[in-house]
Chain A
Amino acid sequence: MIEIRNLSHAEGRTPILHDITLSLPKGGVTAILGPNGAGKSTLLSLMARLRPLQAGSIAYDGMDIAATPTERLARKLAILRQDSTVGSRLTVRDLVGFGRFPHHRGRPGPADRAAVEAALGQFDLAPLAGRFTEELSGGQRQRALVAMAFVQATDYLLLDEPLSGLDMYYARMLMRLLRRLAEEHGRTVVVVLHEINYAAAHADRIVALKDGRVALEGPAAEVFASARLSPIFGMEIPVERWHGRPVALHYT
């Protein structure tokens, strides 16, 4: 379970997050939605201790991030940041391999290598494994970065817009994989999404942020409704049902 209590954050004098209190159950996929600048990336960075906490607390299964050694946290939670770039010339295999660092701390064993090969296979990266990341397309690189977070094999996986740059095929593949991780392996996935229909199709819970506050929270089946989504994005979002599932028709 992730417990966020009275979390506030400011950059300089600009307040970004206001007194956020959230509790996300263990297991399952939570989608974080919200317009640009709502504070989603800031929230995920704080949850992943990438920025110092200014006010409030965050805990995973009772493990307070402010009181837990960072090495330990790296085996509890993994993050894929929104603006992830790879500035270094590393092969795909090496890059994904560094996702195992929290487990081997510099001495990879057979289990680590096996996990890396499995992840390379799972994300269709095996044919690219020996290439340098700078020789990949944006979407391929994104897949390598997702594989790197995935291979960290943590109970909690935080992903900030992992679908950006992925084509339809890989976007759906990743969402299905996240779903499987939650269902079959009991992992807890928190994923920032822009395409709200992916949330409708794959998320158990939805949390929507607006202006640094939680504007909407609940089971996806309950809150994925026109009346609740429209005000958050400040536009009309019709939600229809198709074969029994909710579908947002916000394209026209």
Chain B
Amino acid sequence: MPPASLPTAEPRAGRHAALALAGLALLAGASLFVGAAPLSASALLADGEGARMLMLSRLPRTLACLLTGAAMAIAGLVMQMLARNRFVEPSTVGSAQGAALGLLAVTLVWPAAGLAAKMLAASLASLAGTAAFLAMVRRLPVTQPLLVPLAGLAWGAILGAAATFIAWETDLMQFLEIWLNGEFSGVVQGRYEILWLTGIFAAAAYLLADRFTIAGLGRDAAVGLGLRYERVLLLGLLIVAAVTALTVVTVGMIPFVGLVVPNLVRMGAGDNIRAALPLVALAGAGAVLAADLVGRLVIHPFEVPAATVFGVIGAGVFVWLIVTRRGHGA
């Protein structure tokens, strides 16, 4: 046994998880009572109108924020392990843009397509966009870690430009805008439930946690430990693509969540995914809910999209991470 005074990652992670849970509960409580229309606890008890608003709008909106945030943060974490680089996430390297292209395609080719067909098209296109990015990463020199996010940004921009061109030509710009810059004001009962599916992929990511940690050590180390490296990459890709597609189809991407949240958590908890993933999920959920709350409050009674709020903060943290190279290495 090591002496008790030495810092170990495990108890720290436990304490952080308890704190994060408490903070999350507070935020969720606030989220239920903040909005364009006033709603107080006493009103809630007094009349049925308040309870209706809670169940139809506020609760769905709060849940959508939590689910989106957790899922996006997990997708970012998984992608960082697959790319072995901290500076990537689905909305900067082509996964989100791929999903948007897929959605555009199915909307144009088959306007009557149902949700399942849209999901499938978005997932497949996102998978292709992400796989192409990872194929690019393999050719980059490992000694230049900043080339990876740069290549990703360029690739994401190319796909994004293609999507913009198509959307412009076909009068779908307003949809594309929402797909890539999500917001929660339109979320009501019946319009967000599909986001619960992200829970399946979060659970899958947790089950595969050790494999992702080992994959993060590199191909040779992984093969030496008997891991089927390519299979683990593919499973990770599926998780990232599915979560991205689910988010794009329902509320739209919240850029930088997948980048900032895992980075901040990994600084403290380290890169053992089994320990980091629950914290990443909690922090992601809290971050998106907080962004949405801020968006509801700053120009009350109007709203700023959560993606815009998070984009401002997230971009700043992203630059800070790169400049200070906090937690260098993978």
Contact = CB atoms under 8 A, between A and B. Distances in A.
B6 A89 contact: no
A88 B271 contact: yes
Given A127-B6, A129-B2, A90 B225 contact: no
A49 B210 CA distance: 21
Nearest to A127: B2
Contact of A130 (B2, B217, B224): B2
B57 interface: no
Given A87-B218, A88-B216, A74 B224 contact: yes
Interface in A88-126: 88-91, 93-94, 98-99, 101-102, 106, 117, 126
28 contacts: A45-B220, A49-B223, A50-B220, A71-B226, A72-B226, A74-B224, A78-B224, A81-B220, A81-B221, A81-B224, A86-B217, A87-B84, A87-B218, A88-B217, A88-B270, A88-B329, A89-B266, A90-B270, A90-B271, A98-B225, A99-B225, A102-B225, A117-B1, A129-B2, A129-B6, A129-B8, A130-B8, A132-B9
Contacts, number: 95
B4 to A, nearest CB: 10
B270 A94 contact: yes
Interface residues of A, number: 37
The 8 closest A-B pairs by CB, nearest first: A74-B226, A130-B8, A87-B330, A88-B271, A71-B226, A89-B270, A106-B210, A102-B226
A89 B226 CA distance: 21
A101 B210 contact: yes
Interface of A: 45, 48-50, 70-75, 78-79, 81, 84, 86-91, 93-94, 98-99, 101-102, 106, 117, 126-132, 134, 152
A30 B303 CA distance: 71
B122 to A, nearest CB: 30
